[in-house]
């Protein structure tokens, strides 16, 4: 059974979080699942180099899982930082060993055509971000530098991560997908070093995209953030965003995604950092129709299923909502087929019933807040 990158990332992150907390049993289970998912992903990688990199990542996760088992047997306690020289030495050692565990890179095969809808958004990204990569000589003549920062914002479940991966696929860039938990560390000064490692790793690639989901967790409004770590980390990130294109000949595109752009530090939104802010809306009618084809097309459908009518009914639903509805609708005839011994299709009635039981996850109030923020950010 194939697995998605999101599945791997979810297991990996839960495993690392549990390991840091000293929850050895939970950490071992999650890390083993992450290793299994990465091995599965390696089977579908394009190119021997990427396959080998994914196998190596799976092996490192297995090593961490074995370490968790050893820690459980010896009743090892999670490390607690202090200000002694020995603790600082331990933090440097752990930081060095963990540096390669959380920096995961890939070369996505996903392209814009694989992302349903968002045609205006795709064209916006092409004009502002991709064309300088594709026409470097012309861009140089006009003094336009490839790379920079772009913020993808909008309701949850609208495909921001998929769009970022497709952007990397469009320009054949190495894709670094990082979560805030990967950057943050219990060790004093380690988070800042993690940021430097990340930018250094990206600068070593011919073309690179750094993508950080839930970017507001890393650069929150500092007036609302009392953490001393964040007080040091936010300027480090801002400095990196402003300087990475100046210190490397290889262009880097920094992409952040957020469902709550109003929680970002205003400093990250000014020119020279997130130069472009792109709103990712709920899918329109054509996008909803394409999603239904994608999620139901290879499943046994009754001849009476009307995808056009379903797409109309799903107005106001996010892409994640639509995928859930299709998955949920498939489980009903699947279980019925097991019970009866005869395969039955997904019917229009089943889909209607599931839709009726599944309200949209995005409220009109949430959409209005995005509208107001977009208006205020374009005027400021």
Does residue 246 sit within a domain? Answer: yes
* Same domain, residue pair 111 and 234: yes
Question: What is the C-alpha to C-alpha distance for residues 166 and 219, in angstroms, rounded to an integer?
Answer: 25
Nearest to 261, CA basis, from 349, 153, 172, 156: 153
pTM beyond 0.95, yes or no? no
Is 92 inside a domain boundary?
no
Do the domain assignments include residue 125?
Answer: yes
The domain boundary, picked from 266, 282, 298, lies at 282
Residue 228 lies in a domain: yes
DSSP tag of 77: P
What span, in angstroms and rounded, lies between the C-alpha atoms of 37 and 51?
13
* 116 in the same domain as 73: no
Please tell me the distance from the alpha carbon of residue 26 to that of residue 14, in angstroms, as a whole number: 8
**Tokens encoding 158:** 């609208």
**Helices and strands of the chain, counted as H and E runs:** 16, 6
Residue 358 DSSP symbol: -
Give the burial string for 46-56 (b: 16+ CB within 10 Å, else e).
eeeebeebbbe
Contacts of residue 330, defined as CB under 8 A and 6 or more positions apart, other chains included, come to 296, 299, 346
Q: Identify whether 110 is part of a domain.
A: yes
Say if residue 258 is in the same domain as residue 157.
yes
Strand order, beta sheet including 174-178 = 105-106, 174-178, 208-213, 252-258, 148-153, 276-279
pLDDT tens for each residue of the chain, 380 residues long: 456 777 787 788 888 877 877 788 878 888 888 888 888 888 877 667 677 777 877 888 888 888 888 777 777 666 443 333 333 333 333 444 444 455 667 888 889 988 888 888 888 788 777 888 788 888 888 887 777 788 999 998 888 988 999 998 988 888 988 777 666 654 445 666 777 777 778 878 888 888 888 888 777 765 544 444 455 566 666 666 655 554 456 677 888 899 989 888 787 787 667 778 889 999 999 999 999 999 998 899 999 899 999 999 999 999 999 999 999 999 999 998 888 888 889 999 999 999 999 999 999 999 999 999 988 876 65
Shared domain for 159 and 192, answered yes or no, is yes
Count of residues in the chain: 380
Q: What CATH number is given to the structural domain containing 39? A: 1.20.58
> CATH no. for residue 245?
3.40.50.300
Distances (CA, A) of 215 to 66, 69, 95, 191, 284: 32, 33, 22, 15, 26
Residues 202 and 227 in one domain: yes
* The pLDDT of residue 265: 79
pLDDT at 380: 58
Positive or negative: CA dihedral 301, 306, 307, 310: negative
Calpha distance 314→355 (Å, rounded): 8
- Please indicate, yes or no, whether residues 267 and 335 belong to a single structural domain of this protein: no
Structural domains of the chain, count: 3
Residue where a domain terminates, one of 262, 282, 302: 282
Is residue 154, in this structure, part of any structural domain at all?
yes
Instruction: Confirm whether 364 is domain-assigned.
Output: no
Structural domain span for residue 113: 102-282
In a domain, 363, yes or no: no
Residue 279 has φ and ψ, to the nearest 5°, of -80, 130
């Amino acid at each position: 059974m194939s697995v998605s990158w999101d599945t791997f990332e979810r297991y990996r992150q839960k495993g690392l979080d549990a390991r840091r907390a000293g929850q050895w049993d939970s950490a071992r289970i999650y890390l083993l699942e992450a290793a299994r998912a990465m091995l599965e992903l390696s089977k579908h990688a394009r190119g021997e180099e990427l396959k080998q990199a994914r196998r190596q990542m799976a092996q490192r996760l297995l090593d961490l899982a074995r370490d968790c088992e050893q820690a459980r047997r010896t009743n090892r306690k999670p490390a607690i930082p202090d200000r002694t020289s020995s603790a600082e030495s331990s933090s440097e050692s752990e930081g060095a060993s963990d540096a390669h565990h959380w920096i995961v890179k890939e070369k996505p095969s996903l392209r814009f055509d694989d992302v349903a809808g968002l045609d205006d958004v795709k064209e916006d990204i092409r004009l502002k971000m991709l064309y300088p990569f594709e026409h470097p000589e012309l861009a140089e003549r006009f003094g336009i530098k490839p790379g920079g920062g772009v913020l993808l914002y909008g309701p949850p479940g609208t495909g921001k991560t998929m769009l970022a991966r497709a952007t990397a696929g469009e320009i054949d860039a190495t894709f670094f997908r990082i979560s805030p938990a990967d950057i943050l560390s219990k060790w004093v000064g380690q988070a800042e070093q993690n940021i430097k490692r990340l930018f250094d790793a990206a600068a070593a690639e011919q073309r690179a995209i750094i993508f950080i989901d839930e970017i507001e967790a890393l650069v929150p409004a500092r007036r609302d953030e009392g953490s001393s770590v964040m007080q040091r980390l936010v300027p480090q990130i801002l400095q990196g965003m402003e300087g990475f294109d100046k210190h490397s000949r290889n262009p880097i595109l920094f992409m952040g995604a957020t469902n709550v752009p109003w929680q970002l530090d205003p400093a990250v939104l000014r020119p020279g950092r997130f130069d472009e802010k792109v709103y990712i809306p709920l899918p329109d009618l054509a996008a909803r129709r394409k999603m239904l084809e994608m999620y139901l097309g290879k499943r046994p459908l009754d001849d009476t299923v009307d995808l056009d009518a379903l797409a109309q009914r799903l107005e106001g639903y996010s892409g994640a909502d639509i995928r859930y509805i299709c998955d949920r609708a498939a489980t009903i005839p699947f279980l019925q087929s097991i019970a009866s011994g005869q395969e039955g299709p997904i019917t229009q009635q089943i889909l209607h019933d599931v839709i009726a039981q599944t309200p949209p996850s995005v409220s009109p109030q949430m959409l209005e807040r995005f509208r107001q923020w977009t208006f205020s950010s374009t005027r400021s």
